[in-house]
Structure formats: C-alpha cells, structure tokens
Chains A and B, each alone.
Chain A
Amino acid sequence: MKYLDEFRNPQHARQLLKAIRQRATRCWRIMDVCGGQTHNLLRNGIEQSLEGVIELIHGPGCPVCVTPAEVIDQAIELAGQPGICLMTFADMLRVPGTKTSLQAARAHGHQVRMSYSPLDAVKYAREHSDVDVVFLAVGFETTAPATALAVKQARQLRLNNFSLLTSHVRVLPAMRQIAFSPECCIDGFLAAGHVCTVTGYAEYAELAQQSGLPILITGFEPLDLLQGIRTAVDLLEQGQIDVINEYSRAVKEEGNPAANQLLTDVFEVVDQSWRGLGVLPASGLGLRKDWEEFDARHRYRLAMNASHSETKCRSGEVLQGRLKPGDCAEFGVRCHPGHPLGAPMVSSEGTCAAYYQYYSLRSDHRSSISE
C-alpha cells in the first residue's frame, strides 16, 4: 500500500458520486475547511461533477490567504534592514502587503529567501553567523509544530542570529466564527484532516452539537473527499448531527501528543487578526514570554501598524463562503494568478486561484474521475 492510487480509484469514485447523487434530496451546502481540500476538489473535477447536486463551499483554511497584510508589511520592513535575511515559504513571497509584496521588495534589494521549512532557516542561520535570520512563520496547527521545533533547536544550538515573525492560526475558532455567524450559509463541515492529525477532534463534538452542523474529518485524496461528502449527505438526510472520522488512517481522536507537546511548550493561545475576517478571539498561537528572545517583534521592537488599506479584494466574504470567486468583479479581470489583488489568488490552495485554474479550463482539465 502506497496510500495514493488506492484512494484515487476512478471506479470507486464514480460509485461514490452515484451514491451521493441518489441520496441527496436537496442541494446541501458543505464547507471544506482546508485549502488543500479546495484545491483537490477542483483539480479532480469533484466540485464540477456535483454541480447542482451538492454545493461545495470553500473555507478559510489557506494559511497564505489569512495572514494579515500588516504582517507582510512587518516582514518587508525587516528584510530592508541591513544584516537581516527574511526567510519564509515560497507562497508567501507574492502575497500583497498593504503596499507591496516580499517579492517586489526583493527586486529592490531586500534580503528575502524562500525556505521549505523553518528547520531549514535554523540550518541557514547556523551556517551564516554573520546574518540575522528572521523566519516569517505562518500556518495552522499543521505547520506550527515545525515552527516550535525550529525555535527549540535554535535555543539548543545557542543561536543568537535566529528569530521568528509569527502569524499562526487555529482552525477551530475560525470554524466557530463561520458556524455561529448570523449569515452562516452552510449545512456541514469537511474538517481539515491534516490539522486533525495534530489536534485530534475531541473538541469538535461540542461545536457540532451547539451549531447543529455535522463535521466529517476528511482526507485529501479523491475517494477521501467523496466519502466525506457522502457521509455528510447521509447524516444531513437523516437529520443527524455527529462528528465522524473518515480519515482514520492518519487521524486519532487525541491527535499527535508529541506535536501537541511542542505547541504547548512554545506557544500560548492569543487573539489573532485574520486577513479579511478581522480579529478572532483566541484564534492564534503566539510565542510564550519564555521565548521572547526569539520573537522578532520583541527583538526589533516592531509595532503592529494598524493602518488598514483600502482594497477591492473581497477575500473575507470568499473565505466564509458568502461569495463565489467568479462573482467578485475583479476575478479574471484585474485579478489573476500573474497579478493577484488579494491573497486567495496567490497560493494554489487559495480559493480564487483554484477557481481560476480549474474552472476556466474545466472542459480540458477534468480529471479521469468525473463523469
């Protein structure tokens, strides 16, 4: 078993599609929380195949999309200081801040390097003692353990040229925000499977019961996604509210204890600003006081600039499922992956970019599983 082809079997995909079509008596609105799921639903033609049967709504789970513009501004400010090298994930480079992006700043001589992992940034700092390395750390609970491990390694190695500019977010408060909003427009969640590998799902039962929305813990392969949708439809048709783990090969109810230990050692829960959504209480992970020496905001005395720039981007509505990208006036006009006006058009996990890539090319881009 390689855990890939087995979960992409086209015949089983067709059977699952058929089961969903037969079962659904109305067009249930199901939100996939994670950007990776959004990407795969569109790339594999699942959303397209279920058009008119199930409405798939794409949630706030693209970390690149929810990082506030002001954090990008801070990163750019640091990258412009002599002696500092700003490192971050490739996707972050093109995200617009309030004025410009890290990529544009780099073209103007700022020190910016891509890095696949915060651990690589620690390695780079170790090998370049003359450079002050700042890692811009974003992401959900899937990525936060890597950040926590990086800072622990840096302390163990006694590095004094490594620090973090953090903007880590937690999934559950964002799901709550959507579920309890008076404008809530969904009937159920496909919860982010990889986040659940870390956090587990013990806390989801309360959310499901209080909100009346079933929650399916779902993986990323086509059969995982279809199975999640099928079970969601079954529950909705029976009027049942439940939390079901459809990704049991990777997710345990208690999550990953070692990863959680890293998170509690290094981070505390803080209020966090989300791009497009504003400040959500207890929705972020900030460095504990004990790790202050590795906090770039402390080390370089950065103030959070509260200037909110005027933007035509309607990402907040897109992230809550209230607006389809195609209904944004800028979509495909002034906003496209080569020239993103907003963060959801940057990352391949961003809803706008996924729609641009797979919807406009739908006829020749459908994968083998659809139809």
Chain B
Amino acid sequence: MCLGIPGEVTAWIDRDPLFARAMLDFGGIRKECSMVCVPEAEVGDYVIVHAGIAIARLNSEQAAETLAQFSKLPADEEEA
C-alpha cells in the first residue's frame, strides 16, 4: 500500500478545503484523488499519492538537479 508512484494532475474537480479533488493520470491509468494536502498543485504537476490522497507535489527543479548529479558520474568503462 506504500508503493506511491507519481501521478500527473490532469484536471481539478473540486477546490473545497475538505473535499478538494483532481483527476490524475498514472501512466495511462486515470484516478480521482484528494488534493487537500497539495492545494498549490497545478495541472501538469506531478504528485505522490498514498491511500487516496496526494501528500507531495514533486519539484521539477530539484528533480533536474538530482538528475544532473547522475550525469556527472564517471563513465562506465565496461560500457564502452
């Protein structure tokens, strides 16, 4: 129940403080989720969902920074 994978916000449905919901896309599977804990998320953002509620909005700049670190790894000679 904890393998939270990122879902893309495709449309907001309700902005109520207790019943806020959006439609999310998980690699082709569409599912409605509570957005009460990520009211700042916009359409196109990715969020992490646990037990039906989004608990984190993913930060694309931080993600890019992490990926940039990986591309600085010394090249794998066995690959060449």
Contact = CB atoms under 8 A, between A and B. Distances in A.
B30 interface: no
Contacts of B8: 2
Interface in A178-201: 194, 197-198
Contacts of B73: 12, 15-16, 19
B34 A14 contact: no
A143 interface: yes
Interface string B1-39: 111111010000000001100000001000000101111
Contact of A258 (B1, B38, B66): B38
Contact of B51 (A62, A139, A251, A256): A139
Interface in A72-114: 89-91
A206 interface: no
A146 B79 contact: no
Q: How big is chain B's contact interface, by range?
A: 35 or more
Interface stretch (A32-40, A290-298, A322-330, A357-365): A32-40
28 contacts: A2-B6, A2-B27, A3-B46, A6-B63, A7-B67, A15-B75, A16-B70, A18-B74, A62-B2, A90-B1, A116-B51, A117-B51, A139-B51, A143-B2, A146-B34, A146-B51, A146-B52, A147-B51, A153-B19, A194-B55, A227-B69, A248-B66, A249-B59, A249-B62, A250-B56, A250-B59, A262-B37, A349-B2
Contacts of B62: 248-249
Contacts of A347: 1
A101 B56 CA distance: 33
A197 B18 contact: no
Interface in A16-53: 16, 18-19, 34-36, 39-40
A349 B18 contact: no
Contacts of A250: 48, 56, 58-59
A118 B74 CA distance: 47
Nearest to A224: B66
A15 B50 contact: no
Contacts of B39: 258
Interface of A: 1-4, 6-7, 9, 11-12, 14-16, 18-19, 34-36, 39-40, 61-64, 89-91, 116-120, 139-140, 142-143, 145-147, 149, 152-153, 156, 194, 197-198, 220, 223, 227, 246, 248-251, 256, 258-259, 262, 347-349
- The 9 tightest CB contacts between A and B, nearest first, are A117-B52, A197-B56, A249-B63, A146-B51, A15-B73, A248-B62, A249-B62, A258-B37, A3-B6
Given A14-B76, A18-B76, A36-B4, A156 B18 contact: yes
A6 B67 contact: yes
Contact of B48 (A11, A18, A39, A197): A197
A44 to B, nearest CB: 13
Q: Specify which of B2, B51, B65, B78 lies most central, judged by the most chain A CB atoms within 10 Å of its CB.
A: B2
Contact of B50 (A9, A61, A142, A153): A142
Given A2-B46, A194-B48, A250-B56, A14 B79 contact: yes
A152 B18 contact: yes
Given A18-B76, A19-B74, A142 B55 contact: yes
Contact of B58 (A35, A117, A249): A249
Nearest to A40: B3
Contacts of A153: 18-19
Contacts of A251: 56
A325 B60 CA distance: 38
A251 B55 CA distance: 10
A348 B35 CA distance: 27
B59 to A, nearest CB: 5
Nearest to A62: B2
Given A156-B18, A198-B55, A223 B70 contact: yes
Contacts of A34: 2
B17 to A, nearest CB: 9
Given A119-B53, A248-B62, 15 more contacts: A2-B8, A12-B71, A14-B76, A120-B52, A142-B2, A146-B53, A152-B18, A198-B56, A223-B70, A249-B62, A250-B58, A250-B59, A256-B37, A258-B36, A348-B3
